[in-house]
Amino acid sequence: MTAGPLVLLVEDEVPLRRFLRTTLGAHGFRLVEASSVAEAELALGAQSPELILLDLGLPDGDGVDLTRRIREWSAVPILVLSARGREDHKVEALDAGADDYLTKPFGVEELLARLRVALRHASASRAPDAAVLELDGLRIDVARRRVTLRGAEVHLTPIEYRLLTTLAKHLGRVVTQQQLLTEVWGHAHAHHTHYLRVYMAALRRKIEDDPARPKLLRTEQGVGYRLRDPREG
């Protein structure tokens, strides 16, 4: 039997660690556990985890600082599990390099879906860039700079196209407002959040069946946006 993905769980709450050990083990994941920043750094040096599940409030340091240090040398997916539910906490962790953020308490099925998305994204980033991306009838042909919806061409402005392809590059992951503004408009516009609201509304009108209830372009309130991976289920 093929060994499942190796996950480094960094969590100081013993009951939650026990629960995740049982739950993830039942779904084929292998687990390495750490209860502090120091233990996590030792585990990272000794193991090669394919994904990190990271609590932010650790006894000897902060998970956001640990994320920044990891990002100096590794692109391993980092999924934050934290009781810190404020929007600024989420933005800080995502801007530090985390790939996703789940607020405690969370549902098991959502956790498993986010794990699958993070692992798929990591796998895709190691492969050559896909020339074509298909999402529930939406087809993004990067090589030809062409977008179609159920076979009909969608006419996008250059900004709308860059916004869509930037989200597609991070498929399934939350992209913060500042990240989007920097990648699409440049560093000088990193705080012009009204740009995003205007262009996202225009983009939804062109590619969503019901722009008021978008299925593809999801808003993470106060944090950013996410292009939903249809394989999330």
User: Which CATH number describes the domain made up of 132-232?
Assistant: 1.10.10.10
Vertex 135, ends 209 and 81: CA angle to 5°?
100
What mean pLDDT do residues 179-206 have? 84
Q: In what order do the strands lie in the sheet with 51-54?
A: 30-34, 6-10, 51-54, 78-82, 100-103
pLDDT value for 12: 94
Read off the tokens for 190. Answer: 């990193």
Asked if 177 and 160 touch (Cβ cutoff 8 Å), the reply is no
Full-model pTM: 0.62
Whether 50 and 119 have beta carbons less than 8 Å apart is answered as yes
pLDDT digits (tens, 9 = 90+) for 25-69: 999 999 999 999 999 988 887 888 899 999 999 999 999 999 998
In a 3-state reduction of DSSP, which class is residue 213? coil
Given a cut of 80, whether residue 188 has pLDDT beyond it is: no
d(CA 93, CA 78): 10
How does residue 6 score in pLDDT terms, banded at 50, 70 and 90?
very high
Residue 118 neighbours by CB under 8 Å, 6+ apart: 51, 77, 79, 99, 100, 172, 173
pLDDT interval class at 186 (50, 70, 90): confident
What is the pLDDT at residue 53?
96
Domain boundaries defined on the chain: 6-126, 132-232
Q: Which one-letter DSSP state was computed for residue 91? A: H
Summarised one tens digit per residue, pLDDT across range 119-159 is: 887 766 554 455 778 888 899 888 778 899 999 999 988 88
Q: How many CB atoms lie within 10 A of CB 154?
A: 18
- The per-residue pLDDT for range 85-118, each reduced to its tens digit, is 888 888 899 988 898 999 888 899 999 998 988 8
pLDDT of residue 127: 44
Written as six digits, the tokens of 184 are 């699409």
Q: Helices 63-71 and 37-46: crossing angle, nearest 10°?
A: 30
Question: Between 172 and 13, where is the model more confident?
Answer: 13
Annotation: CATH topology of 6-126: Rossmann fold (3.40.50)
